[in-house]
Amino acid sequence: MFPTPKPLLTPNTYAYEAEPMVKATGFREYDARWLFGQEINLMGVQALGMGLGTLIHEMGVKPELVTGHDYRSYSASIKMALINGLMAAGVKVHDIGLAVTPMAYFAQFALDVPCVAMVTASHNENGWTGVKMGVNRPLTFGPAEMTRLKEIVLGAAFKLPGGGAYQFVENFRARYIADLTDRPKIKRPLKVVCACGNGTAGAFAPDVLAKLGVEVVPLDTELDYTFPRYNPNPEDMKMLHAIRDAVLEAKADVGFGFDGDGDRCGVIDDTGDEIFADKVGVMIARDLAKLNPGATFVVDVKSTGLFATDPELLATGAKADYWKTGHSYMKRRVNEIGALAGFEKSGHYFFNKPVGRGYDDGLISAIAILDMLDRSPSSSMSDLKNALPKTWGSPTMSPHCADEMKYGVIDKVVARFEAMQKAGESVAGQPITGLVTVNGVRVTTTDGTWGLVRASSNKPELVVVVESPVSEARMREMFKAVDGVLRENPEVGEYNQTI
């Protein structure tokens, strides 16, 4: 019998080496994230593998799974502990080695394997680890599956028939790169900055872009799990500013910034301007809508209102479907309603055929942007950006809030705005015209200015975004109003960054 996981064990003790430790809060809405060593140990990861294998059998899915790991000092050992647990639960494991997350998703199709468990902490700081899981390609787990997995693991309700197997898939990297590049080259001569923040994408992105026929200017593409300059996170202003400087110095046409596990892509235009990912999404949607009139695009609640109001999109009959933030929610929604693509403000993009297979891949996003530029040979990236209706939007801001408290805070914030709307109170000096509560609360006023508050799905934080189609001053007024409601809750801490 395998021991029941403990929520806390003291390092450098017999118990720490002899018993599994798994903190309950690591089971997030759609994936798992822990501080390695403090919230989960290797035996805890083994328990996670046993639990996942048990769940796969329980769901009646063929017990075969693809796994890979990102480039952190501890990720390979975590992956092997996970594999031990999976094999004990009777799962055949296909190990693709060092990988970006979308390479694992691609492997589900290429190897005809139903399940995936990718060991990655994505863009989180060093010290974090995690697993992105799914049993129905191209989808990943949602709250129901994560809740059941949590019950199995924390209750040690494992079914361990044995009979698992292990197979290493040699040089799967080449197969993944070939899949992305077996297509016509980009005709237009383009110079592209490729920034990877020393994360895993550095082993893939420069080669892919070069094979597409563009001139590549590498930036921080050497693998270095200490992340010496900044975290590989294309929402991080330090990373964006570094790309901006490189674009201006090289006189590049565009700069791409890939996150730690390669499923997101940030964009800098030829003038050095950091274009928020939702605005890039509108640009891509415009391009794709011309080729696919009447297309539906799924958009997360953090994203710009332009998807629903842009005259050029409306002229093609395009429809916007605002949905929950989170790669799992977005993937599922795009799949369920047959949308052409889904766009998330964090930079997760989901393309269905003919562009992609429904999962998020930062390189496919970069290729879509290169194709857009190729189809607009007389327009620069900044020209395409400037053609959008003007709005003033904030970066994604994240005040600290403990995992154990953040959802309760959000419930109170939602209730507060609902009460304000019912009472006819104004927000930022104007009446409320709409509340979207599928994921936190997005409050919109009469002039189209809006603010969003939701709980982060993978960190002890809240998420705040504001935008105005009127002026920067209105955007700031909305932030002040939203922050004022947040400050009614003492559990909410300081922001990582503000406008």
The string of pLDDT tens digits covering residues 286-334 is: 999 999 999 999 999 999 999 988 999 999 999 999 999 888 899 999 9
Exposure class string for 149-164: b at 16+ Cβ within 10 A, else e:
bbebbbeeebebeeeb
Can you tell me the distance from the alpha carbon of 242 to that of 132, in angstroms, rounded to the nearest whole number? 29
Can you tell me the distance from the alpha carbon of 298 to that of 419, in angstroms, rounded to the nearest whole number? 29
- Give the closest residue to 125 by CA, choosing from 201, 235, 35, 257: 35
* Same fold for the pair 14-174 and 393-486: no
CA angle 50-56-62, nearest 5°? 125
Band (pLDDT 50/70/90 cuts) for residue 236 is confident
Strongest mean pLDDT among 121-130, 239-248, 490-499 = 239-248
Can you tell me the distance from the alpha carbon of 79 to that of 86, in angstroms, rounded to the nearest whole number? 10
SS3 215: strand
- Whether the pLDDT of residue 406 is over 90: the answer is yes
Q: Calculate helix-pair angle for 172-181, 101-110, nearest 10 degrees.
A: 90
Can you tell me the distance from the alpha carbon of 265 to that of 277, in angstroms, rounded to the nearest whole number? 8
- Whether the pLDDT of residue 47 is over 90: the answer is yes
SS3 342: strand
The values of phi and psi at residue 271, to 5°, are -90, 0
CA angle 394-398-402, nearest 5°? 160
The pLDDT, as a whole number, for residue 459 is 85
Q: Which CATH class is domain 183-389?
A: alpha beta
Contact 223, 203 (CB under 8 A): yes
Can you tell me the distance from the alpha carbon of 315 to that of 422, in angstroms, rounded to the nearest whole number? 35
Percent of the chain at pLDDT > 90 equals: 93
Q: Out of 343-347, 379-383, 413-417, 490-494, which region has the weakest mean confidence (pLDDT)?
A: 343-347
Band (pLDDT 50/70/90 cuts) for residue 458 is confident
The pLDDT, as a whole number, for residue 498 is 87
- Give the closest residue to 324 by CA, choosing from 346, 299, 305: 299
Strands (E), 41-153: 64-69, 92-98, 115-119, 128-134
Joined together, the tokens standing for residue 169 give: 């898939």
The string of pLDDT tens digits covering residues 84-133 is: 999 999 999 999 999 999 999 999 999 999 999 999 998 888 999 999 99
Domain regions of the chain by residue span: 14-174, 183-389, 393-486
Band (pLDDT 50/70/90 cuts) for residue 373 is very high
Instruction: Determine the CATH number of domain 14-174.
Output: 3.40.120.10
The string of pLDDT tens digits covering residues 208-217 is: 999 999 999 9
Looking at every residue in the chain, the average pLDDT score rounds to: 96
- Mean pLDDT for 466-490 is 97
Can you tell me the distance from the alpha carbon of 129 to that of 34, in angstroms, rounded to the nearest whole number? 5
Q: Calculate helix-pair angle for 172-181, 362-374, nearest 10 degrees.
A: 20
The pLDDT, as a whole number, for residue 275 is 93
Torsion 107-109-113-119 (CA) sign: positive
pTM: 0.90
The pLDDT, as a whole number, for residue 65 is 98
Instruction: Determine the CATH number of domain 393-486.
Output: 3.30.310.50
What residues contact residue 112 under an 8 Å CB cut-off, 6+ apart?
none
The pLDDT, as a whole number, for residue 411 is 98
The string of pLDDT tens digits covering residues 408-444 is: 999 999 999 999 999 999 999 999 999 999 999 999 9
SS3 117: strand
Identity at 7, one-letter amino acid code? P
The string of pLDDT tens digits covering residues 142-178 is: 999 999 999 999 999 999 999 999 999 999 999 999 9
The pLDDT, as a whole number, for residue 297 is 98
The terminus-to-terminus CA distance of the chain in angstroms comes to 53
